[in-house]
Each structure stands twice: as structure tokens, then as C-alpha cells.
Structure 1
Amino acid sequence: MVFCRRKTPKPRAGHVSVRLRNGLVLVTGGLGYLSEVEIYNPQDATWSVAGNLLTGRTNHQVAELPDGRILIIGGIGAEGMLASVEIYEP
């Protein structure tokens, strides 16, 4: 196993990442109720911005749906615990 040091575009903690079907990695949310969504390409070690969540959140969960969309649910936002759900379509 080889570890390489890389930097993310934005410091994050309390975020969630999920591997997409195309091999890219989607990273959402984080402490400070981050709304930015970023994508990491492990093939060339590059990052790109994918957009913003409708609600910034931390400590949330994500799951890939059978059709490839990504469910982003719950967590904590600026107003407290969230009951909201968002769907990202890669």
C-alpha cells in the first residue's frame, strides 16, 4: 500500500464521501455547515466543484440509489438537526 499526500480544495471535517459508479468520489458537507459539493478523480488526482447542497450540513448520511442518484439525508445545519433530504444526480 502506498499513501500519497494530496490537498482538498477546502478543509473539511464532519463531511461524507461516496464512490460513484463511474469511479469518481463525491464529497458533501462538513463542519461549518458546508454546502459545497466536490468531486475527486482518483485517476488523475484532481478535484472539481460539482455545485452546492440546498442546505449546508454536517454529520449527515449519503446512499447511492439503484438508479445511480445519490441520496443526502439529515445531519446538522445552521438551525439544528435536519429532517431534509436532497438528491444529487451525477
Structure 2
Amino acid sequence: MSIARALHTTTALTDGNILVAGGRSSSSFTNTAELYNSTTGIWTFTGNVRSTRMGYVAVLLQDGKVLIAGGLLIASTYLKTAELYDPITTTWAVTGNMTIERNQPTAHLLMDGKVDIYLEDLY
């Protein structure tokens, strides 16, 4: 990776590449996202996440997009926002909010394509 990070998400995409997004670098939160090409072994930057965040959840959707939701913006600002990453256009888009903030949630993709996001910490 180009940026060392922690508390990020790592998602295997349908094309075999790996998306690493957000988290915390050595000095601050980061909104950068990188793709690892599993064929060439090369990391490249892809579109930035709209909100810097860590401690959030990422789910690969049936259409190949990645949903990220919740997490922590700064020390005590918890998020209910969600974003979608499109690997075709390599862009992030804001999508609907959850009803409450969630930090370090768990999520499951259901057979009907919906995503259940479970609360671990409520703020």
C-alpha cells in the first residue's frame, strides 16, 4: 500500500482485486482508497471516500459495488452515513443514511440483495 493505515476495511472485489479504504494513517484519519491488483501485485489509488472514517463496515453487493456505512469521523463523532464504491467508474457516491449512528458494526448481505447492519456500539 502507498499509505500505511489501520482501522480500515478490506474488500475482495468480483474481479479478484482488493479494495482498501479509509481508516487511520500514522498521523490522522484518511479518506484515501487503494486497489490491489492481484494479477500484477501493484497498488493504485482509486477515488477517495467522501467522508474520512474508521471503524465502519464494508459489504460487497450483488452488483459488484461496495457499500460502506457507519464508523467514526473524529474522536467522538459517530456516523450514520453510507457510501457506495463503483469499481467500474472508480468513484464513491453518498447513499441513504442509517437511522442511528453505528461504530464498528457488523453487516450481512441478504439473499434478496438487502444489507442488514447490526449495532455494536450505540452513540
Q: Same fold (TM over 0.5)?
A: yes
> Residue in 1 aligned with 2:77?
80
Identity of counterpart residues, as a percentage? 33
- Are positions 1:19 and 2:12 aligned together? yes
Query: What residue identity is the alignment partner of 1:17?
Result: T
Runs of 4+ in 1 over 2 A off after TM superposition: none
Gaps of 5+ in 2: 88-123
Gaps of 5+ in 1: 1-7
- Quick one: higher RCO (CA 8 Å, sep 6+), 1 or 2? 1
User: What TM-score results when the alignment is normalised by the length of structure 1?
Assistant: 0.87
- Are positions 1:28 and 2:17 aligned together? no
User: What TM-score results when the alignment is normalised by the length of structure 2?
Assistant: 0.64
Structure ID, larger Rg? 2
Q: Return the alpha-carbon distance in structure 2 between the equivalents of residues 11 and 68 of structure 1.
A: 26
Q: Tell me the alpha carbon deviations over residues 4-58 of structure 1, each in whole angstroms, 9 at most, x when there is no partner.
A: xxxx100100011000000000001112321001000121110011110110000
Q: Return the alpha-carbon distance in structure 2 between the equivalents of residues 17 and 54 of structure 1.
A: 17
Query: What residue identity is the alignment partner of 2:31?
Result: S
Q: How many residues align?
A: 83
